Structure 1
Amino acid sequence: MSSGILLDTALMKTALSALLFCASLSATATAWAEGDCGPAAIAPLAGATGARVQGYEAIFESCVKDGETRLATRRFRVDGEKLLLTVDPQTLKTTLERETCWRCEETHDAEQAETRFLQAVRPPQDPERPPALVNAGLIHGKGAGAFITGDLCPSHKPLDRGFIEEVAAQGPGTPLTLSVSGAWIAQHGEDFAWLQEKARSGALDISWADHSYSHPYIPGLRDAQNYLLRPGVDLDREIFETEKILIAHGETPSVFFRFPGLVSDGALLERLKERHLVALGADSWLALGPPPKPGSIVLVHPNGNEPGGLQIFSRLLKSGRMPKPFRALNEAP
């Protein structure tokens, strides 16, 4: 065989190897279209961790692009691309955006005080009434219907898919907010992927609230010494690690944060506001509290740990006593 034929064969093998490598890479890595300035879509990766998200930092910047305005609250990199987590200051909708597409400058809470977003982050506070230790923040929404929220705290039990199907049966695109802990995602990859498919198919419109990463809790300790009030708890880590693992899986964190156990204090609330998150409570924790009424923020636990609340939800739904329609949580503040 001539040297020319050998060389051509070697080149063909090299080219084929390169094509196969690129094909495998495109199946796992985020694809960025050159010149595309729409919201960034991060390809989900099975088993992804927060380590996929690099250089994560809290910021507060006002960004403009083609007459649109967003407030950027986080800056980071995914698969080498510089991205921003942004919120629409009026609708509270969050999106992931390519940093190079926006013109941004630092802003401050005082400059954004008239926006609906800052009014949700920093609602008026009665100076004579200190923040409640339990269930502080947004506990009731405006208007009719109900805001359905489910907490996914760390659990060894599987996701209660029956509850999710029951919500989805209300019609395509039914809103559902899931307050998720990062540790739950890390431990329940198949359940999380199943939820993502429910959203991708249009069966549900899932909004992801942050529920801390580790959800610290010691049975028997008083609330004032428990949950995120335990000595040594790093609130930033609890917030950011959950946001990062959501992003690593191709999801977008919302503006809402639910304290584990609904327990906080004035200092925690202030630090949460500094991170530009809305404290989320509930006025109808079905397993413990009063039945829902129009505008209620309903709380259940579909993580397997509180079947009683899910049974109450099902009974109320079937009897027509659950307020309708189910509404997106962004409409509540």
Structure 2
Amino acid sequence: MKTLAKLSFCATLLAAATAGAQEDCGPVAIDPVAGATGARVENYAAIFESCAKDGEMRLATRRMRVDGDSLLLIVDPQTLQTALARAACWRCAATTDAEQADTRFLQALRPPPEGSRPPALVNAGLIHGKGAGSYVTGDLCPSQKPLDRDFIEEVAAQGPGTPLTLAVSGGWIAHHGADFAWLQEKRRSGALAITWADHSYSHPFAPGLKDVQNYLLRPGVDLDREIFETEKILIAHGETPSVFFRFPGLVSDAALLEKLRERHLVALGADAWLALGPPPRDGSVVLVHPNGNEPGGLKIFSRLLKSGRIPLPLRPIVEAP
């Protein structure tokens, strides 16, 4: 009887340990901390690994430690959805772009045909999406002005879980804590399904300089720092970076695009920058600036939305490539 009781007790402990391990291997949710900086995210590194767990496969593009936990930033290679995962829960091995070439993710990263673009590029990358409807994106460049919450509310009024892509600079997050927390609550409540695109950390810009000498093309700009510091501050605040990156000013060149692909990020452009260009059509990637710096574009958006000229439905950007 003692032996049976001992075996039963051990089985109970094993079952509890197994259940705990399964729970530990679920989705990672990092508690947001007001005023958090990228320093909360340690040993941040770009990787490219194929990872397996319970019959699932993901691609890992970043490795890090947060609050003592070893984590991965993983991508579903078919849906392009990203998530944070515990490294100990996945069996990972280095992979290559060639080995993953048939996945939708790698196809989205595929460069344009050689010779189809000039050396200096404006609006390179994904500028128009598949299917009907439109893809609404808002840039949050560093700004002294507050978030235009009326625009956010107007998008949210389209229905629960309305998709919205926000291309956010790390510098904007660092100086707009209350506005960022308000956006996070919109996401957590289900009012909006926000995709966080990277818009560089500092968004370098000097008035009067030509594009080929400006933005991320300015001498001395460290693209890795611009990418990673924004990803880190998003993670430090409990959010998950997507696979999308929007160049400041939509300005890049062939070298920047290649470096972006090496970091496994999809360049996000726009074919309907409302303050500057034509109205959207089915499949358009719509661009506005809700950071307070471009109210004219928001007025155009509101007018087009009310008149039925913003193609519906509003769609998540992961469906565009």
Same fold at TM > 0.5: yes
Match of 1:127 among 114, 134, 151: 114
Q: Which residue of 1 aligns with 2:159?
A: 171
Match of 2:294 among 299, 306, 310: 306
Q: Which residue of 2 aligns with 1:190?
A: 178
Q: Deviations over 1:280-320 (max 9, x none)?
A: 00000000001000000000000000000000000000001
CA distance in 1: counterparts of 2:136 and 2:309, whole angstroms: 14
Letter in structure 1 aligned against 2:251: V
Q: Which residue of 2 aligns with 1:65?
A: 53
1:325 aligns with 2:310: no
Match of 1:208 among 190, 193, 196: 196
Match of 2:255 among 267, 276, 283: 267
Q: What's the TM-score, normalizing by structure 1?
A: 0.89
Q: Which residue of 1 aligns with 2:5?
A: none
Aligned residues: 300
Q: What's the TM-score, normalizing by structure 2?
A: 0.92
Deviation at 1:34, TM superposition (A): 5.4
Deviation at 1:39, TM superposition (A): 1.4
Match of 1:38 among 15, 26, 32: 26
Deviation at 1:128, TM superposition (A): 2.6
Moved over 3 A (4+): none
CA distance in 1: counterparts of 2:306 and 2:272, whole angstroms: 18
Deviation at 1:130, TM superposition (A): 2.8
CA distance in 2: counterparts of 1:90 and 1:233, whole angstroms: 33
1:110 aligns with 2:95: no
Match of 1:149 among 117, 133, 137: 137
CA distance in 1: counterparts of 2:99 and 2:268, whole angstroms: 24
SS in 1 for 2:122: coil
Task: Give unpaired runs (5+ residues) of structure 1.
Answer: 1-32
1:89 aligns with 2:85: no
SS in 1 for 2:106: helix
Task: Give unpaired runs (5+ residues) of structure 2.
Answer: 1-19
The 5 A counterparts of 1:286-305 are 286-305=274-293
Q: Deviations over 1:256-275 (max 9, x none)?
A: 00000000000000000000
Letter in structure 2 aligned against 1:182: G
Q: Deviations over 1:204-254 (max 9, x none)?
A: 000000000000000000000000000000000000000000000000000
Letter in structure 2 aligned against 1:296: S
Q: Deviations over 1:39-71 (max 9, x none)?
A: 110000000000000000000000000000000
Letter in structure 1 aligned against 2:114: P
% of aligned pairs identical?
80
